[in-house]
């Protein structure tokens, strides 16, 4: 059987944090699941009942090869198939910034899942701020290496923006775990300035 | 070269039908390729579409000019690998390629049934296949795989025999025939009825309603293609001449193509079977049997599903497959769904072996592995 290698969780600390949120035997939906290797891991390590949504035909073929159930979906339009609270955890990892309407998707995921885990890329990071401030151009990072005109990441925001949006949507933030590759103390103290990303655990208020 | 032999199975008992009648002395023409594993885990049933037959792959004789209808997908080393799986394909009840149908002899009268043949349903076809399954000593199919009307049968298997199918792969299909499709079927049958040879189905073998049947086929064939595939394949090309004829003989390549398709179809298909099989599809409506709720129709189903649609299929479009997927997910079944990008229209399920093949191969391999785990 063709098997993709498990994700290297050291390179994706956000997924490591999310994997620890998955209770054994729980039902997990991953939005934008790629080749399904993260779900494959959750199934084998956490005995989770998994489902992935993915838009790309080639990635879907890989999910099928990995034995991960996957539904071809456009997250901007196709989440209405799922009933309220039909998943224990809905995962959205580094995808929110690609949505046409992040606010509508957030509403959907806290409807469909009892809890949602959102891994968010922070454009309030000092590196991004420096690029705008000193170089006078839109930030490019190793996580998001695109130019402003060809980027699929059409809705970039900061940790503070995300917190405001959740308040606005009546979504409760149960937990937030900032991720920084350096300066751990500064990251903990000023996440919006020093964290490259953040994992939020959400539920409907 | 893979040589396969057509076989016949005479049902031991009368077959009860959805219409309330029963059929005596039902024969099923079928072919098998590969070997059934000692634990019986590797049997795959392939269900065919409207005009298909039991000859899914390989050749009947070394001189046979054409292989079976899904030879690109099924065979030794192919996606549905007959070195690995025991593949079964039978001609549907009501057809004209070896199984009992309206042109078969009615044992009560000694004459062909013609329109005295009972109206059958997709579920009746599956009920007959289930008898064949028992006859072959198969306890559970690893998968039932079919495109178009074959996909309808595959879903009926999952619903009616939940313990006897591990997985189902409905391709380019629908849970209920749309009014548009019913309309196409109606016009096709009207074309046959208006043929001077029709005689209410009591035509003789040398005076078949071939004009009507060819017209029905040409009409249906358009629904199997797409605007894009026709533009690519024919454009506005003229067939023989360099300029218009200024009369009503065929000028265009697409006209010539349809004419050819109609003529070829008449050589291998029967008008009465066309009536019965299109009617079976007209009546196909899984939700209707569950009070209009498709999710409830799948309530007892346990199989894993791989649902596939094609982007340019306007006969059974992606939205129809999505309805099926949604109903399956409501039942928390193991479901995967992919819409394959293709310009070939409905016929893509026969033509996109390069993309569809690997998906089927991997899906089946995982199901087989899970059986042994």
Tens digit of each residue's pLDDT (9 = 90 or more) over B129-159: 999 999 999 999 999 999 999 999 999 999 9
Q: What is the largest CA-CA distance in chain A?
A: 52
Do residues B147 and B65 both lie within one domain?
Answer: yes
Chain B neighbors of A72, CB-CB under 8 A: 337-339
User: In chain A, what residues touch B341 (CB-CB under 8 Å)?
Assistant: 57
Do B92 and B137 belong together in one domain? yes
Give contacts of B363 with chain A, Cβ < 8 Å: 64
Residue B246 above 50 pLDDT? yes
pLDDT for the residue numbered A143: 72
Does residue B231 form part of some domain?
yes
Would strands B143-147 and B167-171 be described as parallel, antiparallel, or unpaired? parallel
What pLDDT score does B69 carry?
98
Q: What is the pLDDT of residues B12-31, one digit of tens each?
A: 999 999 999 999 999 999 99
Q: What is the DSSP string of A149-205?
A: TT-S----B-HHHHHHHHHHTTEEEEEEEEE-SS-HHHHHH-HHHH-SEEEEEEEE-
What local confidence, expressed as pLDDT, does residue A160 receive? 97
Q: Same structural domain for residues B29 and B171?
A: yes
Based on the domain organization, do B171 and B212 belong to the same domain? no
DSSP string covering A130-165? HIIIII-S----SS----TTT-S----B-HHHHHHH
Residue A1 has pLDDT above 50, yes or no: no
- Whether chain B has a CB inside 8 Å of the CB on A8: the answer is no
Count of alpha carbons within 13 Å of B52, Cβ hemisphere only?
Answer: 28
% pLDDT > 70, chain A: 96
User: What per-residue confidence (pLDDT) applies to A4?
Assistant: 40
Please give the residue of chain A at the shortest CA–CA distance from B359. A61
* Confidence tier at B210 by pLDDT (50, 70, 90): very high
The domain in which residue B266 lies consists of: 181-279
- Where residue B238 sits, what CATH number does that domain have? 1.10.1740.110
Tell me if residue B124 is catalytic.
Answer: no
Domain-ending residue, one of B248, B279, B310? B279
Given the DSSP bridges, would you call strands B304-310 and B86-90 parallel, antiparallel or unpaired? Answer: unpaired
**Res. B240: pLDDT tops 80:** yes
Quote the mean pLDDT of chain A. Answer: 91
Whether B282 is catalytic: no
- CATH number (domain holding residue B40): 3.40.50.1820
Residue A49: which region, alpha, beta or left (left: phi > 0; alpha: psi -120 to 50)? beta
A82 contacts in chain B (CB < 8 Å) = 329
Angstrom distance (rounded) from CA B29 to CA B8: 5
Residue B143 belongs to some domain of the structure:
yes
Share of chain A above pLDDT 90, in %: 75
pLDDT at residue B318 greater than cutoff 70: yes
Cβ A72–B306 below 8 Å, yes or no? no
A57/B339 touch (CB, cutoff 8 Å), yes or no: yes
Domain count across chain B:
2
Distance from B339 to chain A by nearest Cα, in Å? Answer: 7
Is A63 in Cβ contact with B334 (below 8 Å)? no
Give the minimum alpha-carbon distance from A150 to chain B in angstroms, rounded to a whole number: 23
**Domain check: are B231 and B272 in the same one?**
yes
For residue B38, pLDDT over 80 is answered with yes
**Assigned token pair, A132:** 């705008």
Can you tell me the distance from the alpha carbon of B359 to that of B108, in angstroms, rounded to the nearest whole number?
A: 48
Please give the residue that has the higher pLDDT: either B340 or A139: B340
Q: Is residue B2 domain-resident? A: no
Residues B224, B264, single domain; the answer is yes
Structure tokens given for B331: 């039942």
Q: Are residues B133 and B203 in the same domain?
A: no
- B256-300 tens-digit pLDDT: 999 999 999 999 999 999 999 999 999 999 999 999 999 999 999
Query: Could you report the per-residue pLDDT of A62-75, keeping only the tens digit for each?
Result: 999 999 999 999 98
Bridge partners, residue B86, by sequence = B43
Chain B closest-CA separation from residue A25 CA (Å):
14
Higher-confidence residue of B241 and B352: namely B352
pLDDT at B75 over 60: yes
The Cα A177–Cα A179 span in angstroms is 6
Task: Decide which of B224, B259, B279 is a domain's last residue.
Answer: B279
Paired residues of A118 in beta bridges: A92, A200
B144 inside domain: yes
Whether B18 is in a domain gets the answer yes
> Contact B359/A61, CB-based, under 8 Å?
yes
The predicted structure's pLDDT at residue A7: 60
Q: Are residues B94 and B52 in the same domain?
A: yes
Q: pLDDT, tens digit, for every residue of A27-61?
A: 999 999 999 999 999 999 999 999 999 999 999 99
Structure confidence at residue B373 (pLDDT): 79
* pLDDT exceeds 80 at position B119: yes
Per-residue pLDDT reduced to its tens digit, B42-53 = 999 999 999 999
Q: What pLDDT is stored for residue A39 in this prediction?
A: 97
Same domain, B98 and B165: yes
Is A64 in the B-facing interface, judged by CB distances under 8 Å?
Answer: yes
Looking at residue A77, its pLDDT comes to: 78
Residue B372 confidence (pLDDT) above 90: no
* Structure confidence by residue, pLDDT tens digits, A86-113: 999 999 999 999 999 999 999 999 999 9
Q: Is residue B99 part of a domain?
A: yes
| Domains of chain A and CATH, by start | 13-204 (3.40.50.150)
Structural domain contains residue B193: yes
pLDDT at A140: 83
Annotated catalytic residue, options B90, B143, B148, B342: B148
- Is residue B56 within 8 A of residue B89, CB to CB? The reply is yes
- Together in a domain, B104 and B158: yes
Q: Please check whether residue A33 touches B, CB under 8 A.
A: no
Interface test with A, best of B304, B331, B335, B336 (most A CBs within 10 A): B336
Of A57, A78, A83, the CB nearest to B340: A57
Nearest-CA distance A12 → chain B (Å): 26
Average the pLDDT over B312-326 and give the result: 97
**Pick from B244, B279, B314: which residue ends a domain?**
B279
Residue B1 counted as domain residue = no
B132 and B167, same domain (yes or no): yes
- CA–CA separation, A155 and A96 (whole Å): 8
Percent of chain B having pLDDT more than 90?
98
Beta-carbon contacts of residue A95 (< 8 Å; ≥ 6 apart)? A31, A32, A75
pLDDT at B168 over 70: yes
Q: Is the pLDDT of residue B218 over 90?
A: yes
Q: Select the residue of B336, B339, B358 nearest A69 (Cβ to Cβ).
A: B336
Is the domain of B186 the same as that of B158? no
């Amino acid at each position: 059987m063709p098997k993709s290698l498990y994700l290297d969780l050291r390179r994706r600390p956000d997924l490591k944090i999310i994997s620890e949120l998955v209770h054994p035997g729980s039902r997990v939906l991953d939005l934008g699941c790629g080749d399904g290797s993260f779900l494959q891991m959750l199934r084998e390590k956490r005995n989770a009942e998994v489902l992935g949504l993915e838009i790309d035909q080639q990635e879907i073929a890989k999910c099928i090869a990995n034995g991960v159930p996957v539904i071809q979906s456009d997250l901007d339009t196709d989440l209405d198939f799922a009933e309220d609270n039909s998943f224990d955890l809905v995962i959205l990892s580094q995808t929110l910034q690609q949505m046409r309407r992040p606010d509508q998707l957030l509403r959907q995921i806290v409807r469909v899942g009892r809890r949602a885990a959102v891994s968010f890329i922070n454009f309030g990071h000092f590196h991004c701020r420096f690029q705008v401030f000193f170089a006078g151009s839109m930030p490019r990072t190793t996580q998001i290496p695109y130019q402003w005109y060809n980027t699929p990441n059409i809705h970039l925001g900061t940790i503070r923006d995300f917190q405001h949006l959740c308040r606005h949507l009546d979504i409760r933030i149960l937990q937030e775990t900032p991720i920084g590759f350096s300066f751990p103390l500064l990251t903990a103290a000023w996440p919006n300035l020093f964290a490259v990303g953040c994992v939020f655990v959400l539920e409907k208020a | 070269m893979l040589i396969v032999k057509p076989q016949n199975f005479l049902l031991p008992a009368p077959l009860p039908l959805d219409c309330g009648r029963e059929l005596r002395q039902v024969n099923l023409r079928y072919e098998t390729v590969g070997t059934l594993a000692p634990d019986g885990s590797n049997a795959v049933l392939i269900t065919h579409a409207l005009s298909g037959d039991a000859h899914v792959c390989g050749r009947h004789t070394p001189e046979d000019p054409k292989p079976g209808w899904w030879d690109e997908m099924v065979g030794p080393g192919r996606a549905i690998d007959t070195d690995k799986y025991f593949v079964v394909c039978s001609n549907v009840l009501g057809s004209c390629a070896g199984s009992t149908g309206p042109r078969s002899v009615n044992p009560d009268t000694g004459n062909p049934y013609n329109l005295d043949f009972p109206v059958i349903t997709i579920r009746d076809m599956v009920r007959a296949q289930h008898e064949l399954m028992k006859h072959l000593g198969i306890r559970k199919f690893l998968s039932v795989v079919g495109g178009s009307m074959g996909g309808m049968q595959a879903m009926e298997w999952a619903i009616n025999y939940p313990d006897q199918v591990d997985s189902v792969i409905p391709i380019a299909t629908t849970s209920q025939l749309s009014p548009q499709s019913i309309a196409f079927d109606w016009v096709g049958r009207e074309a046959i009825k208006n043929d001077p040879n029709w005689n209410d189905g009591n035509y003789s073998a040398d005076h078949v309603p071939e004009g009507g049947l060819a017209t029905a086929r040409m009409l249906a064939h358009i629904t199997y293609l797409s605007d894009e595939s026709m533009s690519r394949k024919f454009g506005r090309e003229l067939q023989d001449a360099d300029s218009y004829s200024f009369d009503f003989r065929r000028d265009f390549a697409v006209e010539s193509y349809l004419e050819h398709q109609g003529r070829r179809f008449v050589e291998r298909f029967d008008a009465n079977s066309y009536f019965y099989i299109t009617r079976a599809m007209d009546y196909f409506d899984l939700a209707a049997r569950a009070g209009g709720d498709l999710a409830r129709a799948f309530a007892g189903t346990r199989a894993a599903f791989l649902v596939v649609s094609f982007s340019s299929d306007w006969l059974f479009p992606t939205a129809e497959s999505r309805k099926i997927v949604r109903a399956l997910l409501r039942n928390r079944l193991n479901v995967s769904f992919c819409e394959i990008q293709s310009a070939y229209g409905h016929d893509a399920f026969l033509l996109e072996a390069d993309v569809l093949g690997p998906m089927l191969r991997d899906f089946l391999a995982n199901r087989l592995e899970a059986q042994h785990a």
